[in-house]
């Protein structure tokens, strides 16, 4: 009986010892994964964390960019130190000489860059106002407006990650270069196939951006406005009157609803008095509006209205248009 107990004790001790060894090995392995990938590295690497990116994706990218040994080690540290909601979006200077813990905590510190979103359909002044509100060290609104005054329509609306120290001129050039990359180069085939003068198509896109809410509507509106151009009919786009009026100090906003008197404004941008496109864009359109101007939806329609709920109604004749007005706007 004693021999049996002794044998069981021996087996138990051996099992415990084996488990202890395995635990130690796992801990040593994990500890090795948490150490720097290369303690001798002196080359910093710029690592960008987009807004809303999952911790698992960040870890995978850190491993792929050879900043850490293992993505799961990063996820372990983030969970252990409760950093899930502390990691920030932005760009960070990291190094393979940093431990996983150092990298994870560094991603929670203030980034040197600023995320900025510029909306489709904003005019130059609105872009400048938005940039002025950001935490930018060297931005000057008046300087930016002066630089961009001849570039309405070509300041590409998007979400940008920019260094805080960027100057007005550098930001202006960034928007222009992005327009060139995504529109001039990115839509080169569409521009060529459209058969339209691109400058005119861009002006049309700036109108469409202000007049429609989605790509389908944009294509329909673009087709209608091109139909009017083709027969020498006035476009009668309210957004052009809003552009002429500029900032409404009473309503304290841009793009205030125009009045009946505004239709008599003496301006080359008044598309009620003039039977052609405005001389230049009235806003900075997004990619969908530009594509809509290049690839409009063909139809026999010449009229459209917006109902109070945002639905658009179309007509090919003045009689049909008046019927839509009576039914949906009165």
Beta bridge partners of 233: none
- pTM of the entire predicted model: 0.74
Architecture of domain 113-184: 2-Layer Sandwich (3.30)
129 contacts: CB under 8 Å, gap ≥ 6? 141
Give dist(CA 78, CA 102) in Å, integer: 11
State residue 152's pLDDT score: 97
Lookup: tokens for 8: 């069981």
- For the chain, the residue count is 330
From the CA atom positions of the chain, what is the Rg in Å? 30
Examine domains 35-111 and 113-184 and report if their fold is the same. Answer: yes
State residue 207's pLDDT score: 98
Taking 3-state DSSP, the helix, strand and coil percentages for the chain, each rounded to the nearest 5, stand at 50, 10, 40
State residue 279's pLDDT score: 96
Q: CATH top-level class for 35-111?
A: alpha beta
Task: pLDDT tens for the chain, 330 residues: list them.
Answer: 555 556 666 666 666 766 766 666 566 666 667 688 787 777 888 888 887 889 999 999 999 988 888 888 899 989 988 888 888 888 888 888 989 888 899 888 866 788 899 999 999 999 999 999 998 889 999 999 999 999 999 999 999 988 888 899 999 999 999 999 999 999 999 999 999 999 999 999 999 999 998 999 999 999 999 999 999 999 999 999 999 999 999 889 999 999 999 999 999 999 999 999 999 999 999 999 999 999 999 999 999 988 888 888 999 999 999 998 888 887
Beta bridge partners of 113: 163
Spell out the domain ranges in the chain. Answer: 35-111, 113-184, 194-299
Phi, psi of 62 (to 5 degrees): -60, -40
State residue 40's pLDDT score: 78
CA torsion 240→256→173→147, rounded to 10°?
80
Give dist(CA 53, CA 304) in Å, integer: 41
Residue owning tokens 């841009």: 254
Task: State the burial class of residue 107 (Cβ atoms within 10 Å of its Cβ: 0-12, 13-18, 19+).
Answer: buried
Lookup: tokens for 48: 């960008």
């Amino acid at each position: 009986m004693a021999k049996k107990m002794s044998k069981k004790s021996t087996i138990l001790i051996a099992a415990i010892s084996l488990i202890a060894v395995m635990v130690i090995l796992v801990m040593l392995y994990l500890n090795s994964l948490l150490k720097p990938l290369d303690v001798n590295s002196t080359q910093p690497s710029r690592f960008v964390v987009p807004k809303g990116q999952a911790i698992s994706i960040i870890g995978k990218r850190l491993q792929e960019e050879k900043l850490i040994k293992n993505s799961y080690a990063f996820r372990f540290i983030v969970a252990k130190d409760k950093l899930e909601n502390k990691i920030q979006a932005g760009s960070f200077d990291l190094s393979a000489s940093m431990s996983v813990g150092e990298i994870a905590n560094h991603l929670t510190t203030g980034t040197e860059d600023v995320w900025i979103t510029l909306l489709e359909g904003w005019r130059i002044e609105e872009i400048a106002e938005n940039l002025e509100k950001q935490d930018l060290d060297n931005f000057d609104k008046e300087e930016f407006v002066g630089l961009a005054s001849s570039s309405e329509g070509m300041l590409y609306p998007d979400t940008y990650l920019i260094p805080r120290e960027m100057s007005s001129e550098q930001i202006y050039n960034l928007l222009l270069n992005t327009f060139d990359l995504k529109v001039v180069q990115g839509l080169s085939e569409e521009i060529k196939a459209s058969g339209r003068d691109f400058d005119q198509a861009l002006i049309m896109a700036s109108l469409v951006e202000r007049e429609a809410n989605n790509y389908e509507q944009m294509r329909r509106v673009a087709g209608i406005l091109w139909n009017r151009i083709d027969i020498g009919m006035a476009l009668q786009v309210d957004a052009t009157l809003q552009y002429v009026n500029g900032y409404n100090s009473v309503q304290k906003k841009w793009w205030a609803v125009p009045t009946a008197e505004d239709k008599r404004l003496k301006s080359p941008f008044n598309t009620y008095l003039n039977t052609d496109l405005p001389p230049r864009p009235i806003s900075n359109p997004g990619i969908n509006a530009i594509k809509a101007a290049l690839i409009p939806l063909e139809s026999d329609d010449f009229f459209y209205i917006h109902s109070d709920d945002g639905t658009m109604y179309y007509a090919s004749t003045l009689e049909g248009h008046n019927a839509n007005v009576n039914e949906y706007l009165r």
